[in-house]
């Protein structure tokens, strides 16, 4: 089968979005890049700082409530529907629940050819990127660096600690069938 979906999972500031943009540049066919930030940005402001939606704690922790969970389930099924309709999609995701998060995506993407990619980055390096970006809660990158990978099974892993996004994208592109 031909790869239809590339799921990039990694913590905040690990380099997923940069890899996704590079993949769009190096893959021969058009690919859409969609991710957790796309979902959060699409949510009403009232759910972006709410215990019913998603909350970002001062220490970098992230908690999600029932409305977020409902929208997230619809989101993953919607992404899968786009793929079933013929789009190729790169999913830029943060598996806050580790293996349970991957299982939700596995169920939504059932029957599709998916390449599961772990995007790793040393927590200290990711924290430095987080500070340089200035658009994230301090501590999120360090808190997520390892937690998002717990129990997750990948086809391929890349590490952006010392490797540029383009080089990682080329490694991933070589595995896309």
As annotated, the active-site residues are 37
> Which residue, among 1, 6, 4, 8, has the nearest Cα to 158 in the 3D structure?
8
Helix H, strand E, coil C: the string for 49-117 is CCCCCEEECCCCCEEECHHHHHHHHHHHHHHHHHHHCCCCEEEEECCCCCHHHHHHHHHHCCCCCEEEE
Alpha-carbon distance of 20 to 105, in angstroms, equals 18
Lookup result for tokens 């922790």: 61
Burial of 120 (0-12, 13-18, 19+ CB in 10 A): buried
The SS3 of residue 43 is coil
């Amino acid at each position: 089968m031909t790869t239809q979906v590339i799921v990039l999972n990694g913590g905040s500031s690990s380099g997923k979005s940069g890899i996704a943009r590079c993949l769009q540049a190096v893959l021969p066919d058009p690919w859409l890049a969609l991710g957790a930030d796309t979902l959060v940005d699409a949510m009403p402001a009232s759910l972006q700082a709410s215990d019913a939606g998603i909350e970002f704690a001062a220490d970098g922790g992230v908690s999600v409530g029932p409305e977020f969970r409902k929208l997230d389930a619809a989101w993953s099924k919607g992404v899968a529907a786009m793929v079933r309709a013929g789009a190729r999609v790169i999913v830029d995701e943060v598996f806050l629940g580790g293996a349970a998060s991957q299982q939700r995506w596995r169920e939504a993407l059932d029957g599709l050819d998916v390449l599961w990619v772990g995007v790793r980055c040393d927590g200290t390096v990711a924290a430095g990127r987080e500070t340089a970006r200035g658009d994230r809660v301090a501590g999120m990158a360090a808190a997520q660096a390892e937690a998002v990978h717990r129990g997750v099974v990948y086809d391929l892993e890349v590490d952006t600690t010392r490797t540029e996004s383009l080089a990682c994208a080329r490694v991933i592109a070589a595995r896309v069938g």
